[in-house]
């Protein structure tokens, strides 16, 4: 009896202790650069965001039950979800962190990291997430004025009261985050959403006009490789003058919000861009003006240095366009991060192309169950169909995420996706070339897959050892020295468990005589090669 009692007491004390034990503070996530490559460092090591962005109105506690199961199906490790200014500051200066707190604790229970999207002054170029008390005072929190002198559906970047209010709210949000998240559940914050303006190219108010007619700041000219001393924006930038002017104004605004938040809590911060056509850019007016489109990235870098990343929202499905965007945003001064993209089967493979450019994260948009219809009786299609293309990628990469992120940061990893009409690609690894081919039959002639779905990553573990993971392709190795031939020493098929490659079997014979074949099942191989 005594024994039972004291055990119970001990257990209760233990429980009490566990409940009150302070949470161990983890290092603040940060971006690191090494020999021109970037990594997002989380818990002290490179991390790859296998992300999914929730729908715009899913960031409410009542909706979260429709979000988490989708993340689980996807095997995503990061949820991108909005924090709404209108919810966070319902009355001037009164902040409500209940929604933020609910998202944090539910994410932690599921071991999911978060990227929070600050839907503040700008959301897709408009001010729709400003609190009601601001919307009711449009004279104070004023809009862009169009060419006809009428207010547009876009906040003016020159509205000082709006800027001050946003800074006040965003810093309150970051302060709360710092206090509530020693676990670093939140690994990045997006400042605003697709900032800029649709319709008018800039603010045409008299005050803005005066600035447009004045000298361009020296920092902008320098960033854009222009001669110093231009008398005004038109003279400096010609047909792109209005877009450049608005980019400077919007970037300055967003940069001030970001800097104030970062001073409170130095998490990695980014802004996202609604793109222009990367191959055949239309004239100003055919795309959102003022955001970090590819033509004005240097202006954003100069005017908003507190932002660590400017990131493309890629809703293009033409392979050449998609790949061009990746190239444009993968810069020496900018880590590649895709915070939004469509989750369609036709573009899912470009996740691998992004990996090939050391992307720190990839996050298709709208992947929760708030819009998806449940399966209809008798229907053969699965309600998860819209998740499946992304799930295929993450099923393969999630168990090996830390290795992939580390190998990529170390410059040991290359990754590619199939393009129609290109049946083979060669990846150079010093003394070895990895030849990736698509749609090869047994006789070894590659003809391309019926639909271009092939994708693969190859990482060099040692001089003569490689890790390979992919779908719908064949990989072989050839020595860079043309006088030598390759032989496989050992081809191990394995399964990643708890972040480590676990040997399953040696592949040989029919499985390797024509090269290393990757089909529709997630497959990871560790391969040792030699020459003869």
> Considering the complex, what minimum distance in angstroms separates the CB of residue 122 from ligand DGJ?
10
Q: CA 282, CA 239: separation in Å to the nearest integer?
A: 12
The secondary structure of 392-408, three-state, reads HHHHHHHHHHHHHHHHH
Q: Report the nearest approach of ligand DGJ to the CB of residue 155 (Å).
A: 16
Least separation in angstroms between CB 364 and ligand DGJ: 11
Q: Which residue has the tokens 């830390």?
A: 402
When the beta carbons of 342 and 523 are compared against ligand DGJ, the nearer one is 342
Cβ at position 119, least distance to ligand DGJ in Å? 8
Using the minimum distance from each CB to ligand DGJ, give the nearer residue, 181 or 194: 194
CA pair distance 407, 411, nearest whole angstrom? 6
Nearest distance from C-beta of residue 287 to ligand DGJ, angstroms: 13
For tokens 């293309």, the residue is: 389
* Rounded Cα–Cα distance for residues 364 and 356 (Å): 18
Least Cα distance to 434 among 406, 421, 415 occurs for 415
Cα–chain-centroid distance for residue 249? Answer: 25
Cα separation, 296 vs 291, in Å, equals 8
CB 255 within 8 A of CB 297: no
Kindly list the distances between the CA atom of residue 460 and the CA atoms of 81, 146, 403, 477, 526, in Å, as whole numbers in the listed order. 35, 55, 11, 12, 10
* CA 170 – CA 180 distance, rounded (Å): 15
Task: Please name which of 86, 87, 121 lies closest in space to residue 102, comparing C-alpha atoms.
Answer: 87
Residue nearest to ligand DGJ (CB): 194
Name the pairing type of β-strands 465-471 and 30-34.
Answer: unpaired
| CA distances for 409 relative to 34, 168, 233, 392, angstroms | 7, 36, 40, 23
Q: How far is the CB of 309 from ligand DGJ (least distance, A)?
A: 15
Indicate the residue among 314 and 491 with the shorter CB distance to ligand DGJ: 314
Beta-strand runs (E) in 194-343: 269-274, 309-314, 337-338, 340-341
CB closer to ligand DGJ out of 233 and 369: 369
Angle of the 98-109 helix axis to the 160-180 helix axis, nearest 10 = 40
Q: Quick one: 156 or 193, whose CB is closer to ligand DGJ?
A: 193
Q: How far is the CB of 124 from ligand DGJ (least distance, A)?
A: 5
342 or 453: CB nearest ligand DGJ: 342
Distance separating alpha carbons of residues 130 and 119, to the nearest angstrom: 8
Nearer to ligand DGJ, 313 or 403 (CB): 313
Shorter beta-carbon distance to ligand DGJ: residue 193 or 472: 193
Taking the least distance from each CB to ligand DGJ, the nearer of 73 and 365 is 365
- Nearest approach in angstroms of CB 217 to ligand DGJ is 28
CB of 291 to ligand DGJ, least distance (A): 10
Closest to ligand DGJ by CB, 339 vs 399, is 339
Residues contributing to the site for ligand DGJ (CB under 6 A): 56, 124, 193-194, 313, 340, 365
Which among 287, 352, 362 has a CA at the least distance from the CA of 53? 362
Tokens 């700008």 belong to which residue?
122
CB of 83 to ligand DGJ, least distance (A): 13
């Amino acid at each position: 009896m005594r024994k039972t009692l004291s055990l119970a007491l001990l257990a209760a004390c233990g429980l009490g202790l566990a409940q009150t034990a302070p949470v161990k503070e983890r290092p603040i996530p940060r971006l690191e650069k090494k020999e021109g490559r970037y990594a997002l460092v989380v818990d002290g090591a490179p991390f790859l965001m296998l992300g999914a962005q929730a729908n715009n109105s899913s960031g409410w506690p009542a909706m979260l039950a429709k979000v988490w199961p989708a993340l689980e199906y996807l095997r995503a490790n990061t949820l991108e979800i909005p924090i709404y200014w209108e919810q966070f500051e319902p009355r001037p200066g009164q902040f409500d962190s209940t929604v933020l707190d609910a998202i944090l604790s539910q994410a932690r229970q599921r071991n999911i990291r978060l990227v929070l999207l600050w839907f503040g002054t700008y959301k897709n170029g408009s001010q729709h997430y400003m609190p009601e008390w601001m919307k009711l005072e449009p004279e104070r929190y004023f809009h862009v004025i169009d060419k006809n002198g009428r207010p547009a559906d876009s906040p003016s970047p020159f509205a000082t009261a709006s800027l001050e209010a946003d800074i006040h709210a965003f810093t309150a949000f970051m302060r709360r985050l710092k206090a509530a998240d020693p676990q670093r559940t939140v690994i990045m914050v997006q400042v605003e959403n697709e900032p800029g303006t649709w319709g008018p190219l800039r603010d045409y108010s008299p005050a803005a006009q005066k600035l447009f007619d004045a000298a361009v700041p020296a920092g902008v000219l320098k960033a854009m490789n222009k001669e110093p001393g231009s008398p005004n924006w038109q003279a400096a930038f010609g047909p792109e003058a209005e877009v450049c002017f608005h980019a400077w104004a919007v970037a300055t605004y967003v940069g001030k919000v970001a800097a104030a938040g970062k001073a409170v809590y130095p998490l990695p911060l980014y802004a996202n861009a609604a793109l222009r056509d990367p191959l055949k850019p239309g004239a100003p007016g055919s795309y959102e003006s003022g955001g970090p489109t590819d033509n004005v990235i240097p202006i954003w870098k100069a005017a908003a240095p507190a932002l660590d990343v400017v990131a493309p929202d890629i809703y293009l499905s033409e392979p050449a366009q998609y790949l061009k965007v990746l190239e444009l945003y993968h810069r020496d001064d900018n880590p590649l991060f895709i915070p939004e993209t469509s989750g369609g089967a036709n573009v899912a493979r470009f996740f691998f192309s992004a990996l090939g450019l050391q992307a720190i994260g990839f996050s298709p948009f709208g992947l929760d169950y708030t819009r998806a219809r449940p399966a209809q009786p008798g229907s053969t299609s699965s309600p998860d169909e819209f998740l499946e293309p992304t799930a295929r990628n993450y099923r393969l990469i999630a168990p090996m995420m830390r290795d992939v992120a580390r190998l990529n940061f170390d410059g040991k990893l290359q990754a590619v996706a199939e393009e129609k009409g290109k049946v083979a690609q060669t990846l150079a690894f010093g003394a070895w070339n990895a030849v990736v081919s698509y749609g090869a039959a047994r006789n070894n002639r590659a003809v391309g897959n019926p639909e271009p779905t092939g994708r693969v990553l190859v990482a060099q573990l040692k001089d003569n050892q490689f890790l390979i993971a992919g779908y719908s392709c064949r990989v072989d190795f050839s020595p860079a020295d043309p006088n030598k031939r390759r032989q496989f020493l050992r081809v191990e098929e394995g399964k990643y468990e708890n972040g480590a490659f676990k040997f399953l079997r040696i592949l040989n014979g029919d499985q390797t005589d024509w090269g290393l074949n990757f089909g529709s099942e997630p497959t990871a191989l560790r391969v040792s090669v030699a020459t003869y």
